[in-house]
Amino acid sequence: MNDRERFCDIAHFRRNGDPFVFRHWFWFETVGRWQQEGMPGDVSPYDYVSLGRDRVEYIPVNTLTVSLRPYHNSPWPVAVDPAYERQIIDEDERTFTVREIDGGVVRFSKKDPTNMPQFLQYPVPDRKTWNEFKLRYHPISPNRFLPGWETISNTDFQRNPEFQGKPWSERDFPLGVAAISLFGIFRDMMGLRGISYALYDDRVLIEEMMNYMVEFSLVIFQKIFDAGIHLDFVNLWEDMCYKVGLLISPKIVKEMMVPRYRILTDFLRNHGVDIFMLDCDGNVSELVPLLLEGGVNGIFPMEVQADMDPVAFRKEYGKDLIIAGGIDKRALTHGKKEVDEELKKIPWLLEQGGYFPIVDHLVPPDVPLENYLYMMERLQNMRTTG
């Protein structure tokens, strides 16, 4: 059974006891540390830490944000096309200020410019700027889809080079696309304060923006399907929760987002796609039942420090919810004993099906390579199926 078959069977609760690691994600600095600790510099870190298993790829299209550093690391400006010129507009002895490619203005620390910047000005503060901004945020702009997107190319995993340049239909691994966001993308355009006020002061504007995003996503999906490509899953991204719950009212999610999720998930199901994995940090307890109402049936990364417990979610939602995550990244900073303790919950989750064991956010640079590989080996030893 190949990776694509395994992934789909796990997500559909047809395959139990299989530790398929759906996602490896890490900070750029983490990769630097791991290379100092013995990971070859000329090998894809995704290939190296996956132990030759569990390949997952995405259509190379810039739909929501773009990463300006390797390994999908921040900064993550909105994926406008054409982009604004990225330029330094101010500087002092401790900081430098940049106008980003999406038109926003951010300040970086010179001491550690890889840290998240301070956001000084967001690209879309009001209706006027939205009308101008969306001209640069068109689904079929010249650089939206990367060159060679219709074939197996621009991939994170570099093993099996014989696949390079072949049609996606010849793959033996799952393929997805990240192309839905009804809050996270606008939070990046307006800032959390900006969108929070706008939801009450100019709800009509936010509804117009959400409708635009629905059409944007539908056009992206249709272009992929028209190219004869079948997707195995779709990623959604919101990041609309914090440590104890939603950043906005559940009532707003139900009224404004759930019906639009349903439009998108119904369209995708009619095209044979029924695995939807929503990326949302923080405590998602209030969010998950609303997602299910909108047809979204998967959640990750289940942040442990936000009291997210994949075991409790499985008991509550049964086979209605696909779960990925719930492995506390903080445990990996210690020793093997702590890793073993953290992984005690995993065998039961694997046996229920519909679960992918992944770390609950980007792996920080205080995690030794030895610990991450030990986690991977322990997960593989939990396999109870062929």
Quick one: average pLDDT of 193-209?
Answer: 97
Q: Each residue of 233-271: pLDDT tens digit?
A: 999 999 999 999 999 999 999 999 999 999 999 999 999
User: Is 232 exposed, middle or buried, given 0-12, 13-18 or 19+ CB atoms closer than 10 A?
Assistant: buried
Share of the chain above pLDDT 70, in %: 100
Taking residues 360-365, what's their average pLDDT?
A: 97
Instruction: Report the percentage of the chain scoring pLDDT > 90.
Output: 96
Domain boundaries, the chain: 3-63+144-381
pTM check: above 0.85: yes
The string of pLDDT tens digits covering residues 316-343 is 999 999 999 999 999 999 999 999 999 9
The pLDDT of residue 116: 83
* Residue 386 banded pLDDT, cuts 50, 70, 90: confident
pLDDT at 207: 98
Cβ atoms 324, 279 nearer than 8 A: no
Angle, helices 203-226/192-201, rounded to nearest 10 degrees = 110
Average pLDDT, the chain: 97
Q: Which pLDDT band, with edges at 50, 70 and 90, does 113 fall under?
A: confident
Among 169, 163, 157, residue whose Cα is nearest residue 71: 157
- CATH number attached to the domain at 3-63+144-381: 3.20.20.210
Radius of gyration over every alpha carbon of the chain, rounded to an integer in angstroms = 21
pLDDT of residue 196: 97
> What pLDDT was estimated at residue 154?
85
Which range among 28-37, 112-121, 296-305 shows the weakest confidence by mean pLDDT? Answer: 112-121
